[in-house]
Amino acid sequence: MAAKKAEQALVNQWRDILALHARTQCELDRALNQHGLCASDFEVLDVLAEGASRGGSADPRRASSFRVQEISERVHLSQSALSRLIARLEKDGLVERCMCAQDRRGVVVALTPKGRALHGEVLPVQRAVLTRMLAN
């Protein structure tokens, strides 16, 4: 009996996590839509911007570029979904793609100046939603 209660508590906790994620994702999409982005778009821009802030390279574009596979691991999208998203961001002039110098089969993605500016503009909006939804 105690094992069943513990199992049900675990299931309930999991469902609460899923519900919080869904509510937060919807709030992010609503807030970011005013800037022409969805939550996944912003996550890609944010990953690239974080790379730029860690820096280390004299060329800020090289410091903020990631292989598509590296981005996929950080934003939790399938490779195909991420490729479509990156194509859309590239069409909007927010990122650029080029061949990886170390491995010609790979694709590297970097923020453009327009993407960096939009990220800076939208960052406080995203962080405010996260604070409102996740702060206890």
Q: What is the pLDDT of residues 73-131, one digit of tens each?
A: 999 899 899 999 999 999 999 999 988 777 667 789 999 999 999 999 999 999 999 99
pTM beyond 0.95: no
What domains, with CATH codes, occur in the chain?
2-134 (1.10.10.10)
At residue 136 the predicted structure's pLDDT band, cuts being 50, 70 and 90, is low
Q: How far apart are CA 124 and CA 57, in angstroms?
A: 26
Enumerate residues 6+ apart whose C-beta is below 8 A from 110.
48, 61, 62, 64, 65, 66, 95, 96, 98
For residue 79, the 8-state DSSP code is: H
pLDDT tens readout for residues 12-25 = 999 999 999 999 99
Look at strands 66-67 and 95-99 and give their pairing: unpaired
Torsion angle defined by CA atoms of residues 112, 94, 44 and 99, in that order, rounded to the nearest 10 degrees? -60
